[in-house]
Amino acid sequence: MKVIVIGCGRVGADLAYRLYKRGHDVAIIDVDENSFNGLSPDFQGRFYEGDGMAQDVLHRAGIENCDTVCIVTNSDSVNLVIGHAVRTMYHVPNVITRNYDAHNRSLFEAFNLQCISASSWAAQRLEELVYHTEIRTVFSAGNGEVEIYEVTVPPAWNDQTIETLVGCPDCVIVSLARSGTAFLPNLHTVLKTGDVIYISATLDGVEGLRVRITKRPEEV
């Protein structure tokens, strides 16, 4: 896969190196040549000093044959402009942008750009850690609005149905693992102590589940 990373700060340098180590053809662009000093010494991708919005720089980096462009500067306006340009002018199949200031996230959504908001994601993770830890996050979608959680059924909920335990419109059952074997349950599946349920839920949904699982069935 041919990837261009625009922005060689801490995020861009780490991303470029990770992609290079996985065998991809990586080019990285930054306006400051000193920023390339942040790349790992064994990075052997291509790097270009210049403005990521300049056509000649993008051409030298191989934009015409690029599969993915990641724009990860610390300027939301730059990321928006470049992201929109490479998608509409160069028709790059996969464009990923960094949202630096969470207050500007709606702009990325207005341009229908795929974006990662590190501050929103980190705040979501930290908020979860404030609460109880009986339920473990195993996968995060988007910026953490929906996640998949691993829930181990406690003894108090033995022989109860999934519907009784979950009982939440913001929770969707993904799978259930029992004695090392996973299957797709339904709401009427009877739970056994030690079962591991995988549930997709919003933060509100999982908080409701946390409250329920700490009680006995007759208390909910």
Residue-wise pLDDT for 35-48, tens only, equals 999 999 999 999 99
Pair of tokens at residue 13: 């340098």
More confident residue, 218 or 73: 73
Q: What is the pTM of this model?
A: 0.66
Residue 159 has a pLDDT of 95
Going from N- to C-terminal start, the domains of the chain cover 2-119, 131-219
What percent of the chain shows pLDDT beyond 70? Answer: 95
* All residues at 6 or more sequence positions from 108 whose CB lies less than 8 Å from its CB, including other chains: 76, 79, 80, 83, 97, 99, 115
Q: 131-219 — its CATH code?
A: 3.30.70.1450
Residue-wise pLDDT for 10-68, tens only, equals 999 999 999 999 999 999 999 999 999 999 999 999 999 999 999 999 999 999 999 99
Residue 139 has a pLDDT of 85
Give the model's confidence band at 131: pLDDT under 50 very low, under 70 low, under 90 confident, else very high: low
Q: Which of 103, 128, 102 is nearest to 116 (CA)?
A: 102
Q: Would you state the CATH architecture of domain 2-119?
A: 3-Layer(aba) Sandwich (3.40)
Q: Which of 158, 149, 118 is nearest to 131 (CA)?
A: 149
- Asked whether this chain's domains 2-119 and 131-219 adopt the same fold, the reply is no
